[in-house]
Amino acid sequence: MPANVNDAAVRAFIDAVNAGDRVAFSEALTPDATMTDDGRERDLLQWAEREIFSANGRMDVVSTADGGRSLIADFTNDTWGAMRTRWTFTVEDGRIARFDTGQA
């Protein structure tokens, strides 16, 4: 992971995804966190289960901006294979309140 992912909440999110750790993933999020995928609102927990945990999802960060709150990553899972993705995070009180992702 590039050293310029300076935001601790984003680092925790990425580490949880790559470890397949549902508990750490939940702890990285605010209780009411929301998300979009390719511009469409999704149920975050259902999406995470399908795209990350049940499908062995993994993020390899390629580049970052905004202190690591915006990034480009190669996202790989057993369902879709590898794809270049963009991620933008909104952080509140040290946890992720929202993220927006989609193909880059």
Residue 3 in any domain: the answer is no
Does residue 1 have a pLDDT over 70?
no
Residue 76 in any domain: the answer is yes
Count of the separate structural domains present in the chain: 1
Percent of the chain with pLDDT over 70: 97
Residue 16 in any domain: the answer is yes
Domain CATH code at residue 34 = 3.10.450.50
Tokens of 101: 């992702």
Residue 2 in any domain: the answer is no
Does residue 90 have a pLDDT over 80?
yes
* Cα–Cα distance for residue pair 88/72, rounded to 1 Å: 9
17 in the Ramachandran plot: left (φ > 0), alpha (ψ -120 to 50) or beta? alpha
* DSSP H or E run through 11: helix 8-19
Percent of the chain with pLDDT over 90: 92
Predicted TM-score (pTM) of the model is: 0.94
Residue 39 in any domain: the answer is yes
Instruction: Give 2 or 65, the one with higher predicted confidence.
Output: 65
Residue 77 in any domain: the answer is yes
- Rounded to the nearest 10°, the torsion over CA 94, 100, 102, 104 is -70
Segment among 2-16, 53-67, 82-96 with least mean pLDDT: 2-16
Domain enclosing residue 30, as ranges: 8-103
Residue 42 in any domain: the answer is yes
What pLDDT does residue 6 have?
87
What pLDDT does residue 67 have?
85
Does residue 7 have a pLDDT over 70?
yes
Tokens of 19: 């470890």
* Cα–Cα distance for residue pair 63/90, rounded to 1 Å: 17
Does residue 22 have a pLDDT over 90?
yes
Residue 1 in any domain: the answer is no
